[in-house]
A and B are shown apart, each in its own frame.
Chain A
Amino acid sequence: MQHMVEAPANNEVLENLRLELRRGCLILAVLAELRSERYGYTLRKALAQQGLEIDEGTLYPLLRRLESQGLLASEWREEDKRNKRFYRLSADGKLILKQLSAEWKSINASLNEIL
């Protein structure tokens, strides 16, 4: 028997799956972007310019989580007459990024075959 799925429910499912799919990718993208030092606002802009929009409510907590996991290091510095928090990849972060990149490439290659 075929089930008729109502549009709003379908959209909600799609949105949840999309968020789930994006979550891991965003972590990888943030780690990769922070190979060079950036502060939150410029990082967000850099990601957006490459097609990865990320809102503040996701980015800043993510940065803190990655820092608490030892993958990022940060420091407050003055720039343009305002204090800004600059983030960069730590030594552990570099290692993890390398491993995650390899994993991503492997998954991507498999998915390309599957899809």
Chain B
Amino acid sequence: MALLELRNVSKIYHLGGEEIRALDGVSLDIDGGEFISIIGPSGSGKSTLMHILGCLDSPSKGEVRLDGMDISKASTAQLARVRNRTIGFVFQFFNLLPKLNVTQNVELPMIYAGIGGRERRERAHKALELVELSHRTKSRPNQLSGGQQQRVAIARALVNDPKIILADEPTGNLDTHTGELILALFRHLAAQGRTVILVTHNPEIAAVTPRRIEIRNGKVAERVDERLAGLDRPNAVAVH
């Protein structure tokens, strides 16, 4: 059984009486430990797919199973719990809380998991060591560079030891070199056996993952973009 199973998933919005199918009957399996990218131009529905994969949203139709649990009918409280324990998010704009320092930002998911103060600090420290930021624990996000902020965000995504890391354009706001380092970090995490899902519009980033899913007009495209063909080499790092 796959870690994530989507069966005929549709997301339908109603805008002024008009029906918009952001996702139209998507079926897809993602196994545990896979390093996978979801690619598609803006408006293709890849963001909607990411929201559903990340339990931020529920599908209008179809079935989503995460680790055997049907989350298409879960309550918002259950979804919050899944987001807290099973999924770690990394966003394009980092989404750190500006009023909290680095450690406090990393501790945030553990607070909602109800983990005690001492264990929180220990685990936050470990996660920050992993992203090589243990020397900036007291800094505020606005005192850090973009790459450092994104590493804090990755540390935050990792602290609750989630099965899935879901990264939405994680290099979109970073320069080429920093972006490479961040991608290397994801590859490292994938090598450790974590499921890493990269959502991007950039085929060159998608090229770093062994498996790619292209979304076009709310559907999984039959054929992957030709531009990706030649880039499908192991260990190839090509950004922009």
The answer to whether A and B come from one shared complex is no
Residues of A within 8 A of B (CB): none
Interface residues of chain B, those whose CB is within 8 Å of chain A, are none
